[in-house]
Amino acid sequence: MIRCILGASAKYSTFIATLKQRIKLEHKMSTSPRPVVAVCQVSSTPDKKVNLSACKQLVEEAKERGASMVFLPECFDYVGSSWEETLSLCESLTGDTISQYSQLARKLDIWLSLGGFHERGPEWESDRRAYNTHIIINDKGNIVSVYRKAHLFDVELPEKGISLKESSITIPGPSLVHPVQTPIGKVGLGICYDLRFPEFSVALQRHGAEILTYPSAFTVPTGAAHWEVLLRARAIEAQCFVLAAAQVGRHTEKRSSYGHALVVDPWGEVLGDCGGEGPGMTLVEIDMEKLRSTRRNMPVQQHRRDTKFYFSLDET
């Protein structure tokens, strides 16, 4: 169920085994009516042109392998070496970066999830603050959904060497957005730190989400401790597929990411994992019958009490 690009250091035997698996998978995908999704892992730097070239190659390869939708991670456009540099590189949704991705989607006839774009805020000229924005582009090159990250990563973990305050330059998004219909199913949009809030996934599922996506740039310490368990928990509790594109490796002198772009099914099984070594992708079929049978056999949503019940302790 998985195809990942291997690093140059892979042993020959591992390469042969993976190649056989790849051939078997690609034959299966070529004859399967189930949609194929590509979940990508990249190592963004402050150089937007280099990042665009790397992401474009992944999207083109995903299309060749039969994917109908490609998911790119948070900060796919760039990772700045400082807050000042990050702000200096911000664009609007009508700027050059999104325009090029729209052209790519239209040229390849493929849907794109752009998982965390540095978007200039509404008062850019006066306050120089940005949104962290997740954009869905359809196969005609049109933006069909825009979600702005609601939960900002303001965390101090001195024992882990982590000190980040995303709110220094980022505006929190005002609301959730309705799940969007795509060729692979109905997708509910999140970004990175949103993953830690179960209310978020339940709300999206309640409004029809079949797939939850959390494009991320997790730190190495928090990723090693929490990444997989959180993604599997969100999949299990919402009974959804979870797709999590990821940043990996060293971006700047001060920043690295955990990697391990994952695909998890509604039972909590990991279908694809890109590892923590370098850029790549995992290709997975989305089997909606698995989702339907999981929800049918364990009807969690039917057993859920009304919202008032879960807040009843606040009234006592």
Q: Active site residue: 4, 40, 55, 74, which one?
A: 74
Q: Which residue carries 């959904």 as its tokens?
A: 145
H-helix or E-strand spanning residue 42: strand 36-42
Q: Is residue 192 flagged as an active site residue?
A: yes
Burial degree of 125 (CB within 10 A; 0-12, 13-18, 19+):
exposed
Alpha helix (H) residue ranges in the chain: 12-31, 48-64, 83-88, 96-108, 124-127, 198-206, 220-222, 228-238, 288-297, 300-303, 307-310
Surface-to-core class of residue 34, CB atoms within 10 Å of its CB (0-12 exposed, 13-18 middle, 19+ buried): middle
Q: Which of 61, 75, 149, 210 is catalytic?
A: 149
Q: Clarify whether 253 is annotated catalytic.
A: no
Q: Which residues lie closer than 8 Å to 130 by C-beta, 6 or more apart?
A: 86, 87, 90, 118, 119, 120, 121, 124, 169, 170, 171
Q: Give the β-pairing of 255-258 and 262-264.
A: unpaired
- Active-site residue, 28 included: no
Which residue among 4, 40, 192, 240 is the active-site one?
Answer: 192
Residue 151 per-residue DSSP state: S
> Contact 242/235 with Cβ under 8 angstroms?
yes
Instruction: Give the active site residues.
Output: 74, 149, 192
